[in-house]
Structure 1
Amino acid sequence: MFKNRLFYIVLFIILIILSLGFDARKDVNLISIFSFDKEAIDILLLSRIPSTLTIILTAASLSVAGLIMQSIGRNKFISPSIAGSQQSSILGLLIAYLFITDAPLWGQFIFSFIFSLIASFFFISFIQKLQFKNEIYVPLIGLMFGAMIGSLSMLIAQLTNTQQLLAVLGVGSFANKTIGTFELILFTVPALILSFIYAQKFNIVALGEDFSLNLGINYKRVLSLGIIIVSLISASTFIVVGSLPFLGLIIPNIVSILYGDNIKKNIWDIALFGSIFVLICDLVARLGIYVFTGLSYEISIGFIMGLVGSLIFLGMIFREVKHA
């Protein structure tokens, strides 16, 4: 197991180097960077380092948020994107834009966070009251809940002629994340720290309220903290990056298959695996068109992750049915 983790750490470091050194702009690469070319160094400092840090923090935090959502929801097939948290972030941003046209980035974040928090609390409270909690039916309910919020956002956008803004908000991309635009992603750092500190308690909460109370854990307090962490991560990452489908859903499940269900032991692996997955998808998005056509264009990483993530998710469902 140690050798496997060492391999993934080495792979993670290699991917960071590749992320810093390559994209569709071929004149700025590892050779020009190590030659201390002024333009290459400027691009490295102003664009690629912030972009790579954004990738790592976004990937790690969304993967951990998925783990927390699955723990407090006691279902392996839910995540912030399925539970309506992400769709509510879009609605919050849209409302902020309509009522405070020149709202600063932190103002947009507050709206996005509040709407995501309300939706997450509502969804978790609702599924806790369900008597029949089939592993597949709960995420279907989440998808319907998210679709209702998304439809409301679409209706508001049509009534206010802001459909173009809504379309832009839904595109996941790490392009042009320069210094001055990515700082909001730093909100994920305290959320990640709290996640690591409370990992054991989230592990206990996943076993149910009665079990938690018997072990002296304040179930409702830990549950509320988990929802706040998920909402904080959902809001900050969505404003900076946009939608990254399936990330919080598939990464915790992959790590669970490899290492088991101990949250305290797995949370570091989940952050690592999420970062590796997004770094690979980002490199494909950056270099895919250039490699095959020679044109300096990038694909949206949301498209790549949606394609790969959907295939992995289907595999997970078939695996669950097979072992049921």
Structure 2
Amino acid sequence: MPSRMRRRTVLPVAAAVTAALVVASLLVGEFDISLGALLTDPVAREMFFISRVPRTLSLIFAGAAMAVSGVVMQMITQNKFVEPTTAGTSQWAGLGILAALLLAPNLGPMPKMLIATAFAFVGTLLFVGVLRRISMEQQLVVPLVGIMLGAVVGAITTFLAGTFDLLQSMSAWRSGGFSGIVRGFYEPLWAVVVIAVLVYLLAHRFTVAGLGKDLATTVGLNYDATVLLGVAMVAVCTGVTSVVVGFIPFLGLIVPNIVSMALGDDVRRNLPWVAVLGVGLLLACDLLGRTVVAPMEIPAAVILGAVGAAVFVLLVLRQRRRVLA
């Protein structure tokens, strides 16, 4: 069987594994919620709908949103190593959260999301603007620029948080954990589902934009408007997920690259698989964090960060081998 066909057979298996992980996420936890308990115990049933269902839905929504955001970022920058973490978008969203805490400590979640989204939007536009003024012949230059910008913004955020005694509040954002997700708190994540659907409907535009400005303009695409729209969508996904669940690193880097290796670079064809695998990876990290040190938890972002860093290095080495070859 050809290598590409073997890769394609893996995707349905991955979808089945993701479905199993969703069921496991609903059932695994310190409070015993089995199928029998759901049918006979009203307390277990109430806990299931107050905690387990919202947590699992937030994992699904956040995983799909950040994976799809990675696809959009890679198309508008024409670089496989870019996603909200390596472009500084997430760090700008964190700065927006800190600004909201400083200016209005009692501000509700929705205004915080708007502020975080605005900061993420401005920061991503700054990143794209910097890219237009430097040579991008080397693929690794682009994520290095984003990582450096993100590090500067992160350092400013940490300094201000330490100065105003808000380090503990900001650490909750950086942890990217789902243990505190309950009914009544996760609902804003429905907004990122809308964004994911819009990305799918406009996928052909991002596919053409990924060919470069000159070619995209030649075929009649308004390239600058498409880039601006992509940046806005990524900013919304990053801002909302940052406020609700926190920092989710590398998800938008790992999953789109895996799907692209199997299916190519057609955004519309890839997006459903990107969303499914993004959900599966985040669910797996969350379940591992729930069980490995039970009854304590390791935040999903910590495990995802370790996995993502390793995959990032492997992708860099793979790119280096291709260049040398």
CA distance in 2, matches of 1:30, 1:128: 56
Matched ranges for 1:1-324 at <5 A: 3-25=9-31, 27-33=32-38, 35-290=39-294, 296-324=295-323
Q: Calculate the TM-score normalised by the size of structure 1.
A: 0.94
Matched position secondary structure for 1:289:
coil
Deviation at 1:189, TM superposition (A): 1.7
Range with greater deviation from structure 2 (42-51 or 314-323) = 314-323
CA distance in 2, matches of 1:264, 1:193: 11
Matched position secondary structure for 2:175:
coil
Range with greater deviation from structure 2 (305-314 or 86-95) = 305-314
Q: Calculate the TM-score normalised by the size of structure 2.
A: 0.94
Range with greater deviation from structure 2 (305-314 or 219-228) = 305-314
Range with greater deviation from structure 2 (301-310 or 272-281) = 301-310
Deviation at 1:200, TM superposition (A): 0.9
CA distance in 1, matches of 2:36, 2:288: 20
CA distance in 2, matches of 1:111, 1:133: 34
Q: Do the aligned residues in 2 keep the contact of 1:24 with 1:287 (CA within 8 Å)?
A: no
CA distance in 2, matches of 1:112, 1:318: 34
Deviation at 1:308, TM superposition (A): 1.6
User: Match of 2:308, as an amino acid?
Assistant: G
Note the alpha carbon deviations across 1:110-143, whole angstroms, 9 max, x for none.
Answer: 1101100000011011102223441111111111
CA distance in 1, matches of 2:192, 2:135: 34
CA distance in 2, matches of 1:64, 1:128: 23
Deviation at 1:323, TM superposition (A): 1.7
Deviation at 1:29, TM superposition (A): 3.0
Aligned length: 317
CA distance in 1, matches of 2:88, 2:13: 35
Deviation at 1:3, TM superposition (A): 4.6
Q: Do the aligned residues in 1 keep the contact of 2:70 with 2:82 (CA within 8 Å)?
A: yes
Matched position secondary structure for 2:131:
helix
Note the alpha carbon deviations across 1:134-181, whole angstroms, 9 max, x for none.
Answer: 111111111110011111112211222222222222111111211111
Matched position secondary structure for 1:170:
helix
Deviation at 1:315, TM superposition (A): 1.5
CA distance in 1, matches of 2:145, 2:35: 48
Q: Do the aligned residues in 1 keep the contact of 2:93 with 2:119 (CA within 8 Å)?
A: yes
Q: Do the aligned residues in 2 keep the contact of 1:22 with 1:30 (CA within 8 Å)?
A: no
Matched position secondary structure for 1:216:
coil
User: Match of 1:151, as an amino acid?
Assistant: A
Q: Do the aligned residues in 2 keep the contact of 1:23 with 1:283 (CA within 8 Å)?
A: no
Q: Do the aligned residues in 2 keep the contact of 1:73 with 1:206 (CA within 8 Å)?
A: yes
Instruction: Provide the alpha-carbon RMSD of the alignment.
Output: 1.4
Deviation at 1:86, TM superposition (A): 0.5
Runs ≥4 in structure 1, deviation > 4 angstroms?
Answer: none
Deviation at 1:24, TM superposition (A): 3.2
Percent identity for Structure 1 against Structure 2: 30
User: Match of 1:59, as an amino acid?
Assistant: G
CA distance in 2, matches of 1:147, 1:116: 14
Gaps of 5+ in 1: 291-295
Deviation at 1:5, TM superposition (A): 3.5
CA distance in 1, matches of 2:297, 2:158: 27
Note the alpha carbon deviations across 1:180-234, whole angstroms, 9 max, x for none.
Answer: 1111211102211110011111010011111111111111111111000000000
